[in-house]
Amino acid sequence: MCETCGCGDPEIVPIEVQERILSDNDAQAAHNRSHFEALGLLAINLMGSPGAGKTAVLEASAKAAGGRLKLGAVSGDLATERDADRLNASGIVSATITTGSACHLDARLVHRALHDFPAGDRDIFFIENVGNLVCPAIYDLGQAANVVALSVTEGEDKPLKYPVMFQKADLVLLTKVDLIPHLDFDVAAVEDGLARVMPEARMLKVSAKTGEGIDAWLQWLEERRPAEGHRHEHSHGHHHEHH
Amino acid sequence: MHEYSIVASLIDRVQQEAAAHGGSRVHRLHVKIGELSGVEIDLLKTAFDTFRERTICDGAELAIDTVAPAWACPSCERAVERGAILRCDACGRPARMIQGDEIILQRIEMEAPNV
């Protein structure tokens, strides 16, 4: 009988659940992670505001990496395929995940995109999330690391204003640093804000325009790539749900 | 506005539990939401009030426990204040969040004569 509210109704029973509401997404993300690991791919969830320079950083990365790294990407976009077109033109094999009105990618959308994506020969797989500093942080996609692009034109206060996003970040890319001489932008203030919301605060200053910092960013990625010996043939023999 | 998709997942889960226990009408859901989970309580309530109609949760109450964030050193367990630099004063290690990012369905109160 109901003991919680004391109404005494004998037919009301408490059912204990104690589970994450997004446990379905978590399970799908774990499945994606096993795909990425089997393929020996480093999967990066790249997040940031609209206009933070996510696509531009990837274009600059492709340019700097030359043929050294094989890059792939899927871009979450509400309505267009512009980002994927730009990335394909820069040499990154890319596809679009059209989200309609959804403000974030979830693990199921990424999984569906993976099925049509020639990821097998890629070294690094970028998941360029929908431009948004709130919602994408909540959904695990199966990535190895979360990277947040924050542009200098957005202001120093963003880490303290959007702590959930920055708390989940493994790396922050401070983008468009070539503009700093034209702005009243305090880099130390951003670093201080990050140290208060991001447990192992790590930030790299980059400019897609001048190429500054892009090598350090590629180095950061290289350090996280799975070791050669750990890669094995991708198999679809495991349990697989298609929606 | 991911609160709508969270409510959709919540109601799906409640439907599964109701089917498993032969439950019918749901009276109350208890959820636990961390202040740093990224879920806005007011938006969650609005989304629930909108989505519960014509589902098993029609008329159900959403009882929300909010959880304040807390940080501590992973080795010496000293607390690190919210808003402070997230590093242990004593040993210098990066602090770890110990609570405050929960999005959890704790308990469902429903009419289930077979339980």
B74 φ, ψ to 5°? -70, -20
What residue has token string 């997004």?
A: A22
| Sequential pLDDT tens for chain A (243 residues) | 455 555 656 678 999 999 999 999 999 999 999 999 999 999 999 999 999 999 999 999 999 998 899 999 999 988 888 889 999 999 999 999 988 877 899 999 999 999 888 888 899 999 999 999 999 999 999 999 999 999 999 999 999 999 999 999 999 999 999 999 999 999 999 999 999 999 999 999 999 999 999 999 999 999 999 987 555 544 444 444 444
How far is A175 from A178, CA to CA, in rounded Å? Answer: 8
What interface predicted TM-score (ipTM) does this complex get?
0.92
B4 to chain A: nearest residue by CA? Answer: A102
* Domains of chain B, earliest start first: 3-110 (3.30.2320.80)
A196 to chain B: nearest residue by CA? Answer: B85
> With an 8 Å Cβ cutoff, is B84 touching chain A?
yes
How far is B31 from B8, CA to CA, in rounded Å? Answer: 14
> With an 8 Å Cβ cutoff, is A6 touching chain B?
no
Q: Given this model, what pLDDT does residue A88 score? A: 93
Q: Are B49 and B17 in contact (CB under 8 A)?
A: no
> In this complex, do A17 and B108 lie within 8 Å of one another by their Cβ atoms?
yes
Candidates A15, A20, A21; nearest CB to B108 = A15
Q: Are B105 and B31 in contact (CB under 8 A)?
A: yes
β-bridge pairing B26-34 and B103-111 = antiparallel
Inter-chain Cβ pairs, chain A and chain B, closer than 8 A: 115
Q: Is the pLDDT confidence value at B80 over 90?
A: yes
One DSSP character per residue, A37-99 reads: HHHT-EEEEEEE-TTSSHHHHHHHHHHHHTTSS-EEEEEEESS--HHHHHHHHTT-EEEEEE-
A18 to chain B: nearest residue by CA? Answer: B106
Residue B107's pLDDT band (boundaries 50, 70, 90)? very high
Average of per-residue pLDDT values in chain B? 94
End-to-end CA distance of chain B: 36
How far is A128 from A97, CA to CA, in rounded Å? Answer: 10
State how far residue A164 is from chain B, nearest Cα, in angstroms. Answer: 6
* Domains of chain A, earliest start first: 23-224 (3.40.50.300)
Q: How many CB atoms lie within 10 A of CB A228?
A: 7
How far is B96 from B99, CA to CA, in rounded Å? Answer: 9
